[in-house]
Structure 1
């Protein structure tokens, strides 16, 4: 891919663009950029989990529960999240912002703009180059899987979920007392 990626100031917690670089340069030098993630909720409360293809440039073959990707130069994070949701799952849905936070490891360094969306029943169209398979999973089951560090799950989403209080609770469903 040769798209131009927006670079972000890593000292800015909300996202100030400082320049651009090619996607290849961002990956090679682990430059600070922005990326989006969308947690898709089924009306019954389950969340969409998928396995990334083995050809992905970052975390190939790992599981994830966010659809998303890099914010290109000239895009807002919300626009990029809509674009990624359309590309990866074939959906155009309303997005609710839930978290903005920096993430960094040896492979990626980005400001995460995390959203959630509610599935409207439109058939999913998985992008063959990015999504190997997808399924709906109960949030409590996913929480147990995330506690298992041997389960291949993308590390950035795993960490971002830690910082999203009560992500497993569907905001559209009332919480009942035990």
Structure 2
């Protein structure tokens, strides 16, 4: 049984709960999101989620990441998720924290960045496709309401652009 770190609206730790309970009750929890930027700073790595994902299946995502497990720090989660999803073995740099709400999905995002040129190894159960996009193209696409991008990835990358 997977336990997730539960927080309040301000991101203050409030215990743990199963992933199923977090989803069913819309509990506030923690996630780590990682923006993968090329070493020359000109490109962002974007992937498309598999059609079998339980949340936002088949959509593009300009971040990788996931739920912070109980007893895990956000930094540990960022390292783990970058390695699991994309095969990145690095220490992402923390940039900022921000709440995200989309219906019953409510979490405190810890947003990281990693400078990395590859290689990439996709986790087949999570990533259907991945590739580089110029930073300006991602900026344009996230403002296009017709681009099939995950809502949290859209919100988090918009905030990242303010920090970049």
TM range (shorter): over 0.9
Q: Deviations over 1:20-78 (max 9, x none)?
A: 11101111111100001000111232110000001111100010011100000000000
Q: Which has the larger share of strand?
A: 2
Mapped to 2, the partners of 1:120 and 1:54 lie a distance apart of 26
Structure with higher Rg: it is 1
TM-superposed deviation, 1:117: 0.2
Which secondary structure does the structure 2 equivalent of 1:69 belong to?
strand
Residue of structure 1 aligned with 2:151, choices 145, 148, 155: 155
Q: Secondary structure, in 3 states, of the residue corresponding to 1:163?
A: helix
For normalisation by structure 2, the TM-score amounts to: 0.94
Q: What secondary structure is seen at the aligned counterpart in 1 of 2:160?
A: coil
2:107 counterpart residue number: 110
C-alpha deviation, 1:165, in angstroms: 4.3
**What is the DSSP-based 3-state SS (H/G/I as helix, E as strand, rest coil) of the residue aligned with 2:51?**
coil
Tell me how far apart the structure 2 counterparts of residues 165 and 139 of structure 1 sit (CA, whole Å): 9
Alignment of 1:85-164 (within 5 A): 85-121=82-118, 123-164=119-160
Count of matched residue positions in the alignment of Structure 1 and Structure 2 = 163
Cα deviation, 1:7-27, whole Å, max 9, x if unaligned, reads: 0011x2xx3211111101111
Q: Which residue of 2 aligns with 1:8?
A: 7
Structure 1 moving runs of 4+ over 4 Å? none
Which has the larger share of helix?
A: 2
Q: TM-score, normalised by structure 1?
A: 0.87
Any gaps of 5 or more consecutive residues in structure 2?
Answer: none
Q: Give the equivalent residue in structure 2 for 1:19.
A: 15
Question: Mind listing any 5+ residue stretches in structure 1 that lack a counterpart?
Answer: 170-178
